[in-house]
């Protein structure tokens, strides 16, 4: 059976009291006095009692130690009573668990785990599954009827895959069967609730199992909870990132615990995803028959995906000896035909082996971090490769553009830097053309040399070609290859120069601003030339006047009469006045020139300031747009939070009433089955006694 049982408390003793107190066995003289049918039935009951004793330490030993074979034989009526008591005790125990669920989850968690590992009774599965995943009061249930009225983009895919889901099961058999209709409804409703996941084929098997146990509204709520809380949503996302993580963790467990089988798988290129993907996506529902798969699903509802790792490793351990002897095709057939039916008659054996598998949650967390780091590194490498490809493409486009230029662009006046850049571009273009020509020539020489060598190889028997000639050709070939490598290096250097020049050119002002600045500089240069010319003329006039004045003073100081002297004095005064006037005009023109320079500088500064203001305005507009976009995203996030809260609130209604009705119907069905079993046993017992009438006892 399953893993070792945990010591029960007083309530479990009361619940299983009737199992512990089996009726006393009256001694019989010999087992041969019973019919073969009775012996077979009693052997089955004895096996059941033995399993019960081994499974739970809370069940006390039967009356007596059963030291001999005679004490283990009971009558048919006693066996029937024992079987009915067992079913009745199971019903009472699980009924108490359901009614006192909160107390069991908090105070008796270990015992509850052991009972779930032994299997939840069929008629209690619906209510217990809903309690295990807390799907009893989900607000999303109220939205179910409204979701069915809407249309989903996944409807065609769902319709296509419905017939592939449990095709042999009576509930889903037939195109218009009730099972297919409710399965379509649940899958469609979830595709509308979670549009990111939408629909994935493997999820239909999980929903189908839920619909076998409960109505479609409750199955929908349980499935929503499984997707949200049991990692299934990440498994079924289009990227299936969680599936990759599970495969990575499972491969690590396989390598650690079954190294020989792992080496065999690798040697046969038998990937883990080829056989384990369906285990994680369908929780073994497509691998095992429903009775075995349901037992695994019981444990999954309580312990999560851990049971999938355990059962998968248990299967590989159980079949390691056979698998290492098969090739890839044989292993594929073995997984499909042999493994699914190995535990049909004894699912407890599978569960027991599963919980003997070593499973370390801390190591799984570490592997999850390692896998995330690996994926992040792969994503960064892909981004880097994409960036390098983009840069390579842009570089080729730039080289082609430069090659199409036949002459350098006109050098604008006043822009020395831009002219130098254009000239360097032209020089680089010429050097690039020369390098390409050299590369072409070297390639041609290399081809000719290779052709010559091939001819020599074809004509090895010809005495006209000496070894010296061949050696000379090989030397030329090596020199050609060397020149080719140098040419390629020069070409790469030229390409780097082109990139550098283009980067520096991109930092220069655009064409419109350059033209405007050129016009301003030309006007400034004209005004400056006029001012300098006027100033030069004034300075020359001042110099002429000063020379004539000094000459007049020096020539007529002693020879002139007093009247002449007065006239000269007046003339000197006039000349001095004119000289001062000319100097004043020169100073005025110099001041005007200075003012003009300052005005030009101010205009340039205003132009630069205007450009800066335009840039700031553009940045402010971008900031405003970004703020508006952020506000819209925040509004969407708030709306999504509100809808999520509403969905959670609405999903916690209308569940208990339907569940109780389902439990009542299941209880009635179980009672009828119990009564039928009792009648069958009684009929079998009556027939056995009739056959032995008149036979003397030994």
Range of lowest pLDDT (57-66, 167-176, 258-267, 362-371): 57-66
Residue 345: predicted pLDDT: 87
3-state secondary structure labels for all residues of 448-516: HHHHHHHHHHHCCCCCCCCHHHHHHHHHHHHHHHHHHHHHHHHHHHHHHHHHHHHHHHHCCCCHHHHHH
Q: Return the residue matching tokens 């080496």.
A: 263
Comparing C-alpha atoms, which of 688, 674, 689 is closest to residue 84?
A: 674
* Count of Cβ atoms closer than 10 Å to residue 543 Cβ: 12
Neighbour-count burial of 138, counting CB atoms closer than 10 A to its CB (0-12 exposed, 13-18 middle, 19+ buried): buried
Asked whether the predicted pLDDT for residue 550 surpasses 60, the reply is yes
Please, how many CA atoms are within 13 Å of residue 553, restricted to the half-sphere of its CB? 12
Q: pLDDT tier at 417 (50, 70, 90 boundaries)?
A: low
Which pLDDT score is estimated for 656? 62
Question: What's the pLDDT tens digit per position in 499-520?
Answer: 776 676 565 555 566 566 667 7
> On the CB side of 631, how many CA atoms lie within 13 Å of its CA?
6
> What local confidence, expressed as pLDDT, does residue 252 receive?
94
Q: Report the pLDDT averaged over residues 313-342.
A: 93
For residue 448, name the pLDDT band (cuts at 50, 70, 90). confident
Helical spans, DSSP H, in 163-231: 178-193, 203-213, 216-229
Give the model's pLDDT for residue 406.
53
pLDDT of 77 strictly over 70: no
Question: In this model, does residue 452 exceed pLDDT 70?
Answer: yes
Select the highest-mean-pLDDT range: 213-222, 537-546, 551-560: 213-222
Count the helix, strand and coil residues of the chain and give each as a percent rounded to the nearest 5: 75, 0, 25
For the segment 146-159, the average pLDDT, to the nearest whole number, is 90
- Mean residue pLDDT of the chain comes to 75
- Banded model confidence at residue 276, pLDDT cuts 50, 70, 90: very high
* Across 623-630, average pLDDT: 83
For the chain, percent of residues with pLDDT exceeding 90: 27
Select the more confidently predicted residue: 305 or 173: 305
The answer on pLDDT for 605 being more than 70 is yes
Q: What is the mean pLDDT of residues 258-276?
A: 93
User: What dihedral do alpha carbons 436, 442, 444, 446 form, nearest 10°?
Assistant: -150
Mean pLDDT across 206-215 = 93
For 346-363, how does the pLDDT look when each residue is reduced to its tens digit (9 = 90+)?
899 999 999 999 999 999
Which pLDDT score is estimated for 72? 30
Q: Which helix (H) or strand (E) holds 398?
A: helix 361-404
* Banded model confidence at residue 46, pLDDT cuts 50, 70, 90: very low
- What pLDDT is stored for residue 37 in this prediction? 45
Lowest mean pLDDT across 277-291, 298-312, 416-430, 614-628:
416-430
Among 49-53, 341-345, 471-475, the range scoring the smallest mean pLDDT is 49-53
- Higher pLDDT residue, 261 or 560? 261
Pick 450 or 690 by higher pLDDT.
Answer: 450
Residue 36 is predicted with a pLDDT of 52
Instruction: Of 105-109, 154-158, 500-504, 603-607, give the lowest mean pLDDT range.
Output: 500-504
- 13 vs 258, which has greater pLDDT? 258
| 243-255 pLDDT tens trace | 999 999 999 999 9
User: According to the model, what pLDDT value does residue 608 have?
Assistant: 80
User: Is the model's pLDDT at 222 over the cut of 50?
Assistant: yes
* Lowest-confidence region among 241-255, 431-445, 460-474, 621-635: 460-474
pLDDT at 542 over 80: no
- Would you state the pLDDT for residue 419? 64
Q: How high is the pLDDT of residue 592?
A: 78
């Amino acid at each position: 059976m399953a893993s070792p049982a945990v010591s029960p408390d007083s309530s479990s003793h009361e619940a299983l009291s009737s199992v512990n107190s089996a009726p006393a066995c009256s001694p019989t003289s010999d087992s041969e006095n019973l019919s073969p049918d009775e012996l077979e039935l009693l052997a089955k009951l004895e096996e059941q009692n033995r399993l019960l004793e081994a499974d739970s330490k809370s069940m006390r030993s039967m009356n007596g130690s059963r030291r001999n074979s005679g004490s283990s034989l009971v009558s048919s009526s006693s066996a029937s009573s024992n079987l009915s008591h067992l079913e009745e005790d199971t019903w009472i125990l699980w009924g108490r668990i359901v009614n006192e669920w909160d107390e069991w989850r908090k105070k008796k968690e270990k015992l509850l785990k052991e009972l779930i590992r032994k299997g939840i009774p069929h008629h209690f599965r619906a209510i217990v599954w809903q309690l295990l995943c807390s799907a009893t009061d989900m607000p999303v249930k109220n939205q179910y009827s409204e979701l069915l009225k809407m249309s989903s983009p996944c409807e065609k895919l769902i319709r296509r895959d419905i017939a592939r889901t449990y095709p042999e099961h009576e509930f889903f058999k037939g195109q218009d069967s009730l099972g297919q209709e409710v399965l379509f409804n649940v899958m469609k409703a979830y595709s509308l609730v979670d549009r990111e996941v939408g629909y994935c084929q493997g999820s239909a098997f999980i929903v189908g199992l839920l619909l076998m146990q409960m109505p479609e509204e409750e199955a929908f709520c349980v499935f929503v909870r499984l997707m949200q809380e049991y990692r299934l949503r990440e498994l079924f996302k289009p990227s299936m990132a969680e599936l990759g993580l599970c495969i990575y963790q499972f491969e690590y467990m396989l390598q650690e615990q079954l190294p020989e089988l792992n080496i065999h798988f690798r040697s046969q290129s038998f990937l883990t995803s080829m056989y384990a993907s369906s285990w994680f996506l369908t929780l073994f529902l497509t691998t095992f028959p429903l009775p075995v798969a349901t037992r695994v699903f019981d444990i999954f509802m309580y312990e999560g995906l851990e049971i999938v790792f355990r059962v998968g490793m248990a299967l590989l351990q159980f079949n390691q000896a056979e698998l290492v002897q098969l090739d890839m095709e044989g292993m594929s057939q073995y997984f499909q035909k042999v493994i699914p039916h190995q535990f049909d008659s004894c699912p407890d054996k599978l569960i027991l082996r599963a919980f003997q598998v070593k499973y370390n949650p801390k190591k799984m967390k570490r592997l999850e971090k390692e896998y995330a780091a690996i994926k992040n590194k792969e994503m960064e490498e892909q981004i880097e490769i994409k960036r390098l490809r983009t840069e390579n493409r842009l570089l080729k486009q730039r080289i082609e553009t430069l090659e199409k230029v036949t002459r350098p662009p006109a050098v604008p006046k006043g822009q020395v830097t831009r002219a130098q850049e254009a000239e360097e571009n032209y020089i680089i273009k010429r050097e690039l053309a020369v390098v390409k020509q050299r590369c072409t020539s070297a390639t041609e020489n290399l081809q000719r040399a290779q052709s010559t060598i091939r001819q020599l190889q074809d004509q090895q028997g010809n005495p006209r070609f000496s070894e010296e000639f061949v050696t000379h050709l090989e030397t030329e070939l090596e020199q050609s290859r060397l020149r080719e490598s140098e040419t390629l290096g020069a070409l790469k250097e030229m390409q780097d120069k082109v990139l550098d020049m283009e980067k520096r050119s991109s930092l220069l002002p655009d064409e419109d601003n350059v033209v405007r600045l050129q016009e301003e500089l030309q006007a400034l240069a004209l005004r400056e030339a006029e001012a300098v010319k006027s100033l030069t003329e004034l300075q020359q006039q001042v110099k002429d006047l000063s020379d004539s004045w000094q000459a007049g003073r020096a020539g007529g100081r002693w020879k002139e009469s007093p009247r002449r002297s007065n006239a000269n004095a007046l003339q000197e005064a006039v000349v001095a006045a004119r000289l001062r006037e000319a100097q004043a005009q020169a100073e005025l023109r110099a001041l005007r020139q200075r003012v003009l320079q300052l005005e030009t500088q101010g205009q340039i500064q205003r132009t630069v300031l205007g450009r800066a203001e335009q840039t700031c305005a553009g940045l402010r507009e971008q900031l405003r747009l970004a703020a508006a976009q952020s506000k819209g995203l925040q509004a969407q996030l708030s709306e999504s939070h509100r809808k999520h809260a509403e969905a959670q609130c609405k999903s916690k209604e209308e569940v208990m009433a339907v569940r109780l009705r389902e439990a009542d119907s299941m209880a009635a069905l179980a009672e009828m089955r119990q009564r039928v079993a009792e009648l069958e046993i009684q009929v079998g017992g009556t027939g056995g006694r009739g056959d032995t009438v008149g036979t003397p006892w030994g």
